[in-house]
Amino acid sequence: MVKELYHYKRSTGYTSDFDTFKSLINYQARLELLERHALSPSPSLTDLRAKQPSPGHSRRHSFSDDVDPDFLERAITKAKKSFERYCSPPKPFSPTHERLLLSARHKDDAIEKRLRQKLLLPKILPPDADEQVKLILFKKGIISKIARESVNDRDISRLLPCQWLNDEIINFYGAMILTRSESNHKVDPPTKRKILDVHYFSTFFWPKLKDEGYEKGRLAKWTKKIDIFSKDVILIPINHSNSHWTGAAINFRRKRIESYDSMNIDRRPVLKALRHYLDSEHRNKRKKPFDFTGWQDHNPEDTPQQENGYDCGVFTCQFLETLSRGEEVFHFSQRDMAYLRRRMIWEIGHGKFLDGP
């Protein structure tokens, strides 16, 4: 069954080898169990907050052949539907005036999307930047500081291949996003570079909201000096069951509660919890319910997908960074992870983004 599923996935764009795919399926199956039954993470799922292993040891989880057959059947059914959509010919076009207008609009959208998708990332860093990455990886102790966040040599090694990212890396990258936004919007007028006015909640926000709620978690204190309703976007990294990272956002510009998961797992509970937070925060700060007129939940199926069990943190950082620039299309995929890991080492080591302020 795993081989059958692999065949369908390869037919719709999956690029990694069969062993990596088996590891991914095992990881997805165990995450589904955690989501459904709120179990403790399995020993074969690495704790994202666990101590860093000895250098050179891979942090892949083990694969066993006893993946739940029901999970595999559901995955194959879903893959077949994707395959049929991917390979089915277009329906005959009936040239009514309405459909002609609609077709023209779709063509314009498709052309714009293709033009934007041509912004491919490079495969490697420039030679001088790559040399600096090597020097950063040789450092011991504190590597970099920004605002209240710091990263040491053990943290930065999480950006080597096949490693899960920890809170320190995620929060440092979030602090960089926030600092860039604040620097841009302190200028009057703001610089021409398209950087939104964002706020970033640390990785410790979600456990407070999910496990304790707004009142008990004392989340009103988190925004004592911040008016989130004046921002363009609120960015939120989420750790699911201490085993998987995803990104979420409260997008005031688009009137959307957004979730971005590199495994496309159903995130309706996240969207519901963030709606509840938004209403509670509005009642606390503005003394009346939040007006959700026109607001939508946004959980796009075309979110870039990881092809292994350990790149979720890198995807999450890139989701949040892209959203902070007001982008609607993500220009990265699994093939870019090796490059992005090294670029993030450079960026964290320098406390700034490689492509400028």
Neighbours of 296 (CB within 10 A): 13
Catalytic residue among 244, 311, 317, 336: 244
Active site residue 355: no
Rounded alpha-carbon distances, angstroms, from residue 20 to 162, 263, 323? 11, 15, 29
Active site residue 244: yes
- The region, left, alpha or beta by phi > 0 then psi within -120 to 50, assigned to residue 310 is alpha
Three-state DSSP at 285 gives helix
Q: CA–CA separation, 336 vs 228, rounded Å? A: 33
Structure-block tokens of residue 265: 């797992």
Active site residue 97: no
Catalytic residue among 199, 312, 317, 336: 312
Rounded alpha-carbon distances, angstroms, from residue 317 to 172, 246, 323? 10, 9, 10
DSSP 211: I
Q: CA–CA separation, 157 vs 141, rounded Å? A: 12
Catalytic residue among 167, 232, 261, 336: 261
Looking at residue 159, its amino acid is L
Q: Tell me if 26 sits within 8 A of 263, measured CB to CB.
A: no
Residues involved in catalysis:
244, 261, 312
